[in-house]
Chain A
Amino acid sequence: MSQFAINMIFVLGSFVIYTWIAVWARAKSTREFYIAGGEVHPVMNGMATAADWLSAASFLSVAGLISVGYVNSSFVMGWTGGYVLLATLLAPYLRRFGTYTVPDFVGKRYDSKAARVVAVVCLIIISLTYVIGQMTGAGVAFARFLEVSADWGLILSAIVVFFYAVLGGMKGVTYTQVAQYVVLILAFTIPAIYLSLMMTGNFFPQAGFVGDHTASGMPLLHKLNQVVSDLGFQDYTQDVSNKWNMFLFTLTLMVGTAGLPHVIIRFFTVPNIQDARWSAGWALVFIALFYTTVPALAAMSRLNLIETVFPQGTDQPSLVYEERPEWFKNWEVTGLLTFNDKNNDGRIQFYNDGTLPTPDKTFDKAEERGWMGNELTVNNDIMVLAVPEIANMPPWLIGLMAAGAIAASLSTASGLLLAISSALSHDLLKNTLTPNITDKQEMLYARISMTVAIIVATWLGLNPPGFAAQTVALAFGIAASSIFPVLMMGIFFARINSRGAVAGMLAGSTFTIGYIFTYLGIFFIPGTNFLQNTPSEWIFGISPLSVGCIGAAINFTTAITVSLLTEKPSEEIQEMVRRVRYP
Chain B
Amino acid sequence: MPKEISERDKAYWATNLRLIIITICIWATVSYGFGILLRPLLMGIHIGGADMGFWFAQQGAIFTFLALIFFYSWRMNALDKEYGLEE
In angstroms, Cα B62 to Cα A206, docked, is 12
The residue of chain A having its C-beta at the shortest distance from the C-beta of B54 within the complex is A237
In angstroms, Cα B72 to Cα A23, docked, is 38
Cβ-neighbour of B66 out of A221, A277, A288 (below 8 A): A288
The residue of chain A having its C-beta at the shortest distance from the C-beta of B16 within the complex is A581
Q: How far is the CB of A189 from chain B (nearest CB, A)?
A: 15
Cβ-neighbour of B49 out of A66, A222, A243 (below 8 A): A222
In angstroms, Cα B55 to Cα A207, docked, is 11
A81 touches B85 (CB 8 A): no
In angstroms, Cα B36 to Cα A70, docked, is 10
The residue of chain A having its C-beta at the shortest distance from the C-beta of B47 within the complex is A210
A210 touches B65 (CB 8 A): no
Question: Which of B1-43 touch A at CB < 8 Å?
Answer: 1-3, 5, 9, 12-13, 16, 19-20, 23-24, 27, 31-32, 35-37, 39-40
Q: How far is the CB of B69 from chain A (nearest CB, A)?
A: 4
A274, A285, A288, most chain B CB atoms within 10 A: A274
Q: Report the interface size class on chain B.
A: 35 or more
In angstroms, Cα B70 to Cα A25, docked, is 30
The 9 nearest A-B residue pairs measured at CB: A210-B48, A219-B49, A575-B2, A277-B73, A73-B57, A272-B87, A295-B58, A281-B69, A221-B49
Q: How far is the CB of A147 from chain B (nearest CB, A)?
A: 36
Q: Does A29 contact B (CB under 8 A)?
A: no
| Interface residues in chain B, defined as those with a beta carbon under 8 Å from any beta carbon in chain A | 1-3, 5, 9, 12-13, 16, 19-20, 23-24, 27, 31-32, 35-37, 39-40, 47-51, 53-55, 57-59, 61-63, 65-66, 68-70, 72-73, 76-77, 80, 83, 85-87
The residue of chain A having its C-beta at the shortest distance from the C-beta of B78 within the complex is A274
The residue of chain A having its C-beta at the shortest distance from the C-beta of B24 within the complex is A88
| Interface residues in chain A, defined as those with a beta carbon under 8 Å from any beta carbon in chain B | 66, 70, 73, 76-77, 80-81, 83-84, 87-89, 92, 96, 206-207, 209-212, 218-222, 237, 239, 243, 246-247, 250-251, 254, 271-274, 277-278, 280-281, 284-285, 288, 291-292, 295, 571-572, 574-575, 578, 581-583
Residues from chain B with Cβ under 8 Å of A218 in the complex:
49
Residues from chain A with Cβ under 8 Å of B48 in the complex:
207, 209-211, 219
Q: How far is the CB of A240 from chain B (nearest CB, A)?
A: 8
Residues from chain B with Cβ under 8 Å of A281 in the complex:
66, 69-70, 73
In angstroms, Cα B12 to Cα A575, docked, is 17
B58 touches A80 (CB 8 A): no
In angstroms, Cα B13 to Cα A105, docked, is 21
B49 touches A274 (CB 8 A): no
Known interface pairs A77-B61, A206-B59, A239-B39. Does A273 touch B69 (Cβ–Cβ under 8 Å)? no
B48, B76, B86, most chain A CB atoms within 10 A: B48
B49 touches A292 (CB 8 A): no
Residues from chain B with Cβ under 8 Å of A83 in the complex:
65, 69
B62 touches A292 (CB 8 A): yes
Residues from chain A with Cβ under 8 Å of B62 in the complex:
76-77, 80, 284, 288, 291-292
Cβ-neighbour of B5 out of A211, A280, A578 (below 8 A): A578
Known interface pairs A84-B68, A84-B69, A87-B72. Does A221 touch B50 (Cβ–Cβ under 8 Å)? yes
B9 touches A212 (CB 8 A): no
In angstroms, Cα B69 to Cα A89, docked, is 11
Q: List 15 A-B contacts (CB under 8 A).
A: A73-B57, A83-B65, A88-B23, A88-B24, A209-B59, A211-B49, A247-B36, A247-B37, A278-B73, A284-B65, A571-B1, A578-B3, A578-B9, A582-B13, A582-B85
Residues from chain B with Cβ under 8 Å of A246 in the complex:
36
The residue of chain A having its C-beta at the shortest distance from the C-beta of B35 within the complex is A77
Residues from chain B with Cβ under 8 Å of A87 in the complex:
69, 72-73
B87 touches A274 (CB 8 A): yes
A220 touches B27 (CB 8 A): no
The residue of chain B having its C-beta at the shortest distance from the C-beta of A285 within the complex is B66
Q: How far is the CB of B68 from chain A (nearest CB, A)?
A: 6
In angstroms, Cα B54 to Cα A422, docked, is 41
Known interface pairs A76-B62, A250-B32. Does A212 touch B73 (Cβ–Cβ under 8 Å)? no
Q: How far is the CB of A77 from chain B (nearest CB, A)?
A: 5
Residues from chain B with Cβ under 8 Å of A288 in the complex:
62-63, 65-66
The residue of chain B having its C-beta at the shortest distance from the C-beta of A78 within the complex is B31
In angstroms, Cα B57 to Cα A295, docked, is 10
A84 touches B65 (CB 8 A): yes
Known interface pairs A247-B36, A571-B1. Does A582 touch B9 (Cβ–Cβ under 8 Å)? yes
Cβ-neighbour of A212 out of B47, B49, B65, B80 (below 8 A): B49
Residues from chain A with Cβ under 8 Å of B3 in the complex:
575, 578
Residues from chain A with Cβ under 8 Å of B27 in the complex:
81, 84
Residues from chain A with Cβ under 8 Å of B70 in the complex:
281
Residues from chain B with Cβ under 8 Å of A583 in the complex:
85, 87
Known interface pairs A239-B39, A243-B36, A288-B66. Does A210 touch B76 (Cβ–Cβ under 8 Å)? no
A88 touches B87 (CB 8 A): no
Q: How far is the CB of A429 from chain B (nearest CB, A)?
A: 30
Known interface pairs A70-B57, A88-B20, A582-B12. Does A273 touch B36 (Cβ–Cβ under 8 Å)? no
Residues from chain B with Cβ under 8 Å of A295 in the complex:
58-59
B50 touches A210 (CB 8 A): yes
